[in-house]
Amino acid sequence: MAKQELKRDLQNRHVQLIAIGGTIGTGLFLGSGKAIQLAGPSIIFSYLIIGIALFFVMRALGELLLSNAGYTSFTEFATEYVGPWAGFVTGWTYWFCWIMTAMADIIAVGVYMQYWFDIPQWIPALLCLVILLGLNLLTVKLFGELEFWFAIIKVITIIAMIIAGIILLIIGFKTSTGTVSVTNLWSHGGMFPNGISGFLLSLQLVVFSFVGVELVGVSAAETANPRKNIPSAINKIPVRILLFYVGALFVILVVNPWTQLDATSSPFVEVFALIGIPVAAGIINFVVLTSAASACNSGLFSTSRILYTLSRNGEASAKLAHLNKQAVPSNALFTSTIVVSLGALLSKLIPEQAFTVVTTISAICFIWVWSIILISHIIYTKTRPDLRAKSTFRAPLTPFINYLILGLFAFILLVMLFAEATRLSLLMTPIWFIVLAMLYKYKKR
């Protein structure tokens, strides 16, 4: 097993598009509908705040990964700087995060398929999962190619929608709900139509929209030139946030009043249907379907690699470190796929609530992972000034910004405690950490 290593087959274009795919997913295409209903036009501010915070998280992640060429994921620097328990808990929690996210994505696949076919959600969800498993078993380069083309589709679609929206805005196009105008941002109850409470409640859904932004860190062990490719991908995150999130939401909200958007469907599909282009609406639905499949694909990749790392570090069964002839951790991949398939079961048992339940749990667990990255970075700067001095990719404003973002994360969790839709999931999530603490204690014995 010691001779088995992951292959560095991901090229710069793969890493760049994995980074884009990580920041454009189901949370934006489907979850933004509900977020808009909660916050109204102020949702733009929610995306800006969380996006800026996560850029600094990624800068901390990038500096830590590049400080030691031997790191294959953030679980290893969590072990070194916070403690073995942090590596164990964070590794398994990140696996659980992506399991929940992948569940949300295959549930979304089922929702999108209902645009064309009146079939139960769980059938296309399960079919999609089987196809992605087969493709992931081949090579990591194929995963990179899949994400490359999935991301290209998403990028072209969002840019096309932004251009179309700007043209409609310039010509003052009239829809069934009124004229396309910037005034739609504030003429239906103001920028904060549901008050500050609606704005705060939207933060959890916005957090979920950004899950996967750290996927660049997971792919580090399979990246051909990490010292060049990782900083390049991270530094482009602010532009992507402004274009793909703020730009897209601005267009959606000026094309039609936020009050006309349905919380249960994709606002991207609704925009094209509203301006009388039903064929385009079908095309957009296909795009958001591929986006969900892409995000699920990322979920299978990341969970299998985390299980592989945990196994190599003696924190999971040794069998999970097995690589097939294509250097893919096949046992870890099968294990993750079986657990993700429970999402299809959820979409059968509670189709209305399934998406909200899994996205809430996922957001909470991702907040833990991002917080551990920030804490590890604080300890790294204090205990390894030698590495910090040699760093070619220093995270700015450290440690002030780290503490500020940790405070923001704590505040979001507090908001989730007071929100009826997220309270139960928040109170249930500690069970996961209690189980991990017991397992770690047992393992130490």
What pLDDT score was predicted for residue 2?
A: 40
Phi/psi-derived region of residue 195, left when phi > 0, alpha when psi is between -120 and 50, beta in every other case: left
What pLDDT score was predicted for residue 57?
A: 93
CA torsion through residues 413, 206, 403, 381, sign: positive
What pLDDT score was predicted for residue 370?
A: 93
What pLDDT score was predicted for residue 409?
A: 96
3-class SS at 101?
Answer: helix
pLDDT along the chain (445 residues), means of 10: 51 60 61 81 91 91 82 80 90 84 79 81 83 78 74 80 85 81 89 91 83 67 68 78 83 85 69 69 78 79 82 83 80 88 69 70 88 95 90 90 96 89 84 90 79
Partners of 178 in the beta sheet?
175
Residue type, 56: F
What pLDDT score was predicted for residue 230?
A: 76
What pLDDT score was predicted for residue 265?
A: 65
What does pTM read for this prediction?
A: 0.83
Check: CB of residue 148 under 8 Å from CB of residue 13. Answer: yes
Burial of 159 (0-12, 13-18, 19+ CB in 10 A): middle
3-class SS at 10?
Answer: strand
What pLDDT score was predicted for residue 257?
A: 84
What pLDDT score was predicted for residue 3?
A: 44
